[in-house]
Chains A and B, each alone.
Chain A
Amino acid sequence: MNKNCPAKYNPWMHYFAIATAITTFLLLGLGGLVTSHEAGMSVPDWPNTYGYNMFLFPIGKWVGGVFYEHTHRLLASAVGLLTVVLAVWLWLRDVRRWMGQLGVVAVLLVIAQGVLGGLRVRWHMDNLGVFHGTVAQVFFILVCALALLTSRWWLQLSAERNWVSVPAGLRSLFVATTVLIFLQLMLGATMRHQHAGLAIRDFPLAYGQWWPDTSPEAMARYNSQRVEVVAETPVTAFQIVLQMFHRLGALAIFLAVTLCAWQARRQLGRRDGLARMAAAWHGLLILQIGLGIETLHSNKAADIATLHVMIGALSLVTGALWCVIAFRRSVATPKLAGNRANSGELNCPAVLALGGK
């Protein structure tokens, strides 16, 4: 393998990266189900499961919350395995050295993520659950990026130079909006790991007001009236303020994504792939806000709340990948490798040898 050659499209590696990304997405959803069902502590030990090796835990005991937590652990093991295989593959077969390094980062992240999840159980620390939820999002972005970077489309984009550069201002707008979504997901993870159900139930008002009273008297009143079947924990003023910021964050993100979609269409043209992607992003945000409202109306039904987590993750990854593509389109292709490769000087295979145009 000549490291000076441009990357060659490897369809199986690409499919494998896609499979890793999809499995990670499902894992995120299963993690959402764990918190939606308040099942995070339903398996008291780790890495064992009720004293069994987790892979040998009898199916008959996968009951109630144990089902969600145990399957989450099993799927996480599968994602860990897929990530290690992908990383080794990238390291050995991808000529882009930095791709191998990204694979190593993915392995480190997935290990850290597993340990965080385990320690959250062992140490009974809800705050670790917030980090667990946040690292999950970062890891999901990374594996989706690996799927993108191993795609024929990406390599073609790198090989060709006839694309329109994305203006710096537009890129900055998308980066800022994506960061905003990331912060919003951290807020959401914090809310989920408070285990207090819904701190505010009404919408668009909050306890009948645009900004709810959080005085000690008001909190005592809210809690005395609150009757929950699950997550029966008194709500605090902090949790109410947290949800208010989450609502305001949703509004800010919606406006920002609307602006992004409009500007992308205006500056790149409506037929441009990135403009279309931004339009799809806008659609995802509308869906996400609808799910957020329905989470309130359904009294945080587990399936709705979990979908809210999953679409949130998709929204974040869409913004992140948009930025990656936009930056790629704004950086000139290294001439040397391409020219030397094309001239046959390095004895390189064709850039898109397998399935390329």
Chain B
Amino acid sequence: MNKILSILAVGMVGACSAVSAADIIGTVTYKGAAPAEKTITPILDDPTCGASYNGKAPTTHFYAVGANGEFGDVIVSLKDTTGSTGASAAPAVMDQKACLYTPTILTVQTGQKLIVKNSDPVLHNVHLNPTVAENEKANEASINAAQMPNGADLNYSFVKPEKFLKFQCDVHPWMFAWVTIVDSPYYSQTGADGKFVIKNVPPGKYTIVANHRKAGEKTQDIEVKDASVTINFTFEPK
């Protein structure tokens, strides 16, 4: 009987939270001319990597800016929030395809599994450069790991928040990816449309932070009640 009452109580609390929590939605735009991207010409020098491009090398995409200024790859999160659900979250996946990392900007929670794949018919080395000592220690065994063509996946997990932890391949020195680690589920990453949604945020006052690896950081104070909140960010050239 007590067990049934406990389950009911937990269910009611959960239902109340779901009702009172709200989403934060918004758009991030880039106003002005972003720096010109560069062609990754060395990729054509490697016969295996170059074969994917038919003589036309790809470019960097540090500023994913749409026709109307929609700004992608911006990480939006609530400052100083905790309660990571990373341990139970689905693993994040990063692949190495055609000698590039996909995606190049990724956000995971502390404790969340990150799987790094190699779909290329060429060897890569996955080399991490953590700036937080605990993250380095937690991944010591695979901090610079060889990954043979179509080799076994590499698994990573991080214990502390860190912004833009750099992944690189030294075999192909143009290959980079940056992983941001947050300590709560209250984050989002803008897509090509510049939009973001942070779901189920409990009521309260927060500082919301938008971070772009190159364009920098913007913050705003917000209050979440029981309805969705819309908030937008605009970045400009410095």
Complex-state Cα separation, A231 to B42, whole angstroms: 13
Q: Which residues of A contact B143 (CB under 8 A)?
A: 124
Tell me if A229 is interfacial: C-beta within 8 Å of chain B: yes
What's the least CB distance linking A21 to chain B, in Å?
A: 30
A50-B146, A64-B46, A232-B176 known; A224 vs B125 contact (CB < 8 Å)? no
Contacting residues of chain B (153-167) with chain A, CB-CB under 8 angstroms: 166
Q: Which residues of B contact A357 (CB under 8 A)?
A: none
Complex-state Cα separation, A220 to B143, whole angstroms: 28
Tell me if B127 is interfacial: C-beta within 8 Å of chain A: yes
Q: Are A230 and B174 in contact (CB under 8 A)?
A: yes
Complex-state Cα separation, A46 to B36, whole angstroms: 39
**Which segment of A22-30, A36-44, A332-340 sits at the interface?**
A36-44
Tell me if B92 is interfacial: C-beta within 8 Å of chain A: no
What's the least CB distance linking A26 to chain B, in Å?
A: 22
Residue from A51, A121, A224 within 8 A of B238 (CB atoms): A224
Tell me if A63 is interfacial: C-beta within 8 Å of chain B: yes
Q: Which residues of A contact B60 (CB under 8 A)?
A: 227-229, 232
What's the least CB distance linking B34 to chain A, in Å?
A: 9
Tell me if B209 is interfacial: C-beta within 8 Å of chain A: no
| A45, A64, A231 pick with most chain B CB within 10 angstroms | A64
Number of residues from A at the complex interface, CB < 8 A: 33
Tell me if A271 is interfacial: C-beta within 8 Å of chain B: no
Q: Which residues of A contact B172 (CB under 8 A)?
A: 64-65
Q: Which residues of B contact A42 (CB under 8 A)?
A: 125, 169-171
What's the least CB distance linking B117 to chain A, in Å?
A: 18
What's the least CB distance linking A80 to chain B, in Å?
A: 24
Tell me if B85 is interfacial: C-beta within 8 Å of chain A: no
Q: Which residue of B lies closest to A44 (CB)?
A: B144
Q: Which residue of B lies closest to A39 (CB)?
A: B170
Could you say which interface size class chain B belongs to?
35 or more
A-B contact count (CB 8 A): 87
| B37, B144, B171, B237 pick with most chain A CB within 10 angstroms | B171
Q: Are A227 and B36 in contact (CB under 8 A)?
A: yes
Complex-state Cα separation, A223 to B217, whole angstroms: 13
Q: Which residues of A contact B38 (CB under 8 A)?
A: 227-229
Tell me if A266 is interfacial: C-beta within 8 Å of chain B: no
A38-B173, A50-B146, A64-B172 known; A223 vs B41 contact (CB < 8 Å)? no
Q: Which residues of A contact B49 (CB under 8 A)?
A: 64
Q: Are A64 and B171 in contact (CB under 8 A)?
A: yes
Q: Are A37 and B171 in contact (CB under 8 A)?
A: no
Tell me if B123 is interfacial: C-beta within 8 Å of chain A: yes
Q: Which residues of B contact A41 (CB under 8 A)?
A: 125, 127, 144, 170
Q: Are A65 and B35 in contact (CB under 8 A)?
A: no
Q: Are A223 and B214 in contact (CB under 8 A)?
A: yes
Q: Are B174 and A229 in contact (CB under 8 A)?
A: yes
Report A's interface with B, CB cutoff 8 A: 37-45, 50-51, 61, 63-66, 69, 121, 124, 217, 220-221, 223-233
- Taking A44-B127, A65-B172 as known contacts, 11 extra A-B pairs with beta carbons closer than 8 A to each other, sorted by chain A number, are A42-B171, A44-B125, A64-B49, A66-B123, A226-B214, A228-B60, A229-B38, A229-B40, A229-B41, A230-B174, A233-B166
Complex A-B: 13 CB contacts under 8 Å:
A38-B173, A45-B146, A63-B171, A64-B171, A65-B170, A220-B238, A224-B237, A225-B35, A227-B35, A229-B60, A230-B174, A231-B173, A233-B166
